A and B are shown apart, each in its own frame.
Chain A
């Protein structure tokens, strides 16, 4: 059974640019959540999608957005990148009724 796949693994962007990260959940998992990990703030919840609908959102500015497709794959987008957006972005998936969140390996974003 394939795990949660995140692409790309590493990314370097310049301030002001935008970036799109991708997440393919485990087959059969319809819930996808995104988290940001930084040394100062730890793991912070970004948003959660289920059946193409955003059900929950964390305290992040509107520059952070996401979407989910009919095959449950999800993307997150960050526009007008700032240096402080440098972080490890993690995606997690689960069945809606299950509580076991499985995380991907993450995308390491560096903004220069």
Chain B
């Protein structure tokens, strides 16, 4: 039962263009969402998060959009840079419940930004 899904295993984008990574979830109890970036043999690095009381959060080149009715969120990276090439994970948490410390992760999307 995969409660968080990233349906695109990979995404290829030209430098300077927009990268859009998508994530869907099924558990309506999730109320906090995070995006992480990961390089091989390293731990995930936190990028940006959003609470379910918001529909958008921005941090520099990164913007996360949340559509609760569709149970869908997306990460926009503008402009994309070659250094953004990595695996991106979407994660969700039931912050208001008893899911202490438990993040449910998607399977990840490999982003490649070409110079």
Q: Footprint of B on A, CB under 8 Å?
A: 4, 6, 31-33, 35, 42-45, 47-50, 55-56, 58, 88, 90, 92, 94, 99-106, 108
The interface residues of chain B lying within 8 Å CB-to-CB of A99 are 32, 34, 49, 93, 95
Is B102 within 8 A of A56, CB to CB? yes
Question: Does B89 interact with chain A (Cβ within 8 Å)?
Answer: yes
Is A50 within 8 A of B42, CB to CB? no
Q: Chain A's interface: helix, strand, loop or mixed, by majority?
A: strand
Q: Chain B's interface: helix, strand, loop or mixed, by majority?
A: loop
Q: Which residue of B lies closest to A48 (CB)?
A: B101
Total of A-B residue pairs, C-beta within 8 Å: 72
The interface residues of chain B lying within 8 Å CB-to-CB of A42 are 105-108
The interface residues of chain B lying within 8 Å CB-to-CB of A44 are 105
Contacts A42-B108, A43-B89, A99-B32 given; indicate if A31 touches B43 (C-beta within 8 A).
no
Contacts A42-B105, A42-B107, A42-B108 given; indicate if A106 touches B100 (C-beta within 8 A).
no
Is A106 within 8 A of B43, CB to CB? yes
Q: Pick from B41, B49, B95, B100: contact of A48, CB below 8 A.
A: B100
